[in-house]
């Protein structure tokens, strides 16, 4: 077995996702943000990935993280949250990606308010996974690892 470090993946979360578990559980489920971090890092280990989970309410910080990922050729699982619908700065940072970027959403934006139906990120993402609760993150990590679920 080689001593090489496992591939690193950033899981980036936008505004209000740090409030998971208490924020609208009928929409976002009962898993806390700490629970999301634990599930992502544990699954990452199982898949041979080093997963780092971050959350911010600051658009500029999200843009800096996307630049960091592009500069280091790091794959990204991105839940832009509300930034999805209007942050062209974040979209432009995501467009600079040098590795796969998968957009995820806990809920299905198309089953919600009309303003949520448009994603400025989708066109520059490798793919989008939405509507599977916290499982959306799991599906994205499996896709990045090349371990796609069997039907």
Q: Whole-angstrom Cα distance, residue 138 to residue 143?
A: 9
36 CB-side CA count, 13 A? 27
Among 132, 128, 131, which Cα is nearest to 143's? 128
Query: Is 79 one of the annotated binding-site residues?
Result: yes
28 in active site: yes
Query: Is 107 one of the annotated binding-site residues?
Result: yes
Query: Is 106 one of the annotated binding-site residues?
Result: yes
Q: Whole-angstrom Cα distance, residue 105 to residue 86?
A: 15
The catalytic position among 28, 67, 117, 137 is 28
The catalytic position among 105, 110, 117, 150 is 105
77 beta partners:
11, 102
Question: Would you list which residues are annotated within the binding site for substrate?
Answer: 79, 85, 92, 106-107, 116
Q: Please list the active-site residues.
A: 28, 105
């Amino acid at each position: 077995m080689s001593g090489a470090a496992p591939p690193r993946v950033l899981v980036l979360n936008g505004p209000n996702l740090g409030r998971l578990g208490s924020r609208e559980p009928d929409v976002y489920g009962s898993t806390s943000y700490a629970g999301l971090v634990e599930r992502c890092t544990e699954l990452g280990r199982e898949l041979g990935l080093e997963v780092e989970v971050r959350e911010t309410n600051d658009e500029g910080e999200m843009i800096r993280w996307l630049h960091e990922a592009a500069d280091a050729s790091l794959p990204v699982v991105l839940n832009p949250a509300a930034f999805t619908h209007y942050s062209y700065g974040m979209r432009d940072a995501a467009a600079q990606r040098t590795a796969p970027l998968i957009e995820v959403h806990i809920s299905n934006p198309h089953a919600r308010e009309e303003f949520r139906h448009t994603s400025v990120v989708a066109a520059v993402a490798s793919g989008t996974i939405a509507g599977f609760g916290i499982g959306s993150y799991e599906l994205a990590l499996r896709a990045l690892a090349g371990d796609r679920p069997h039907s």
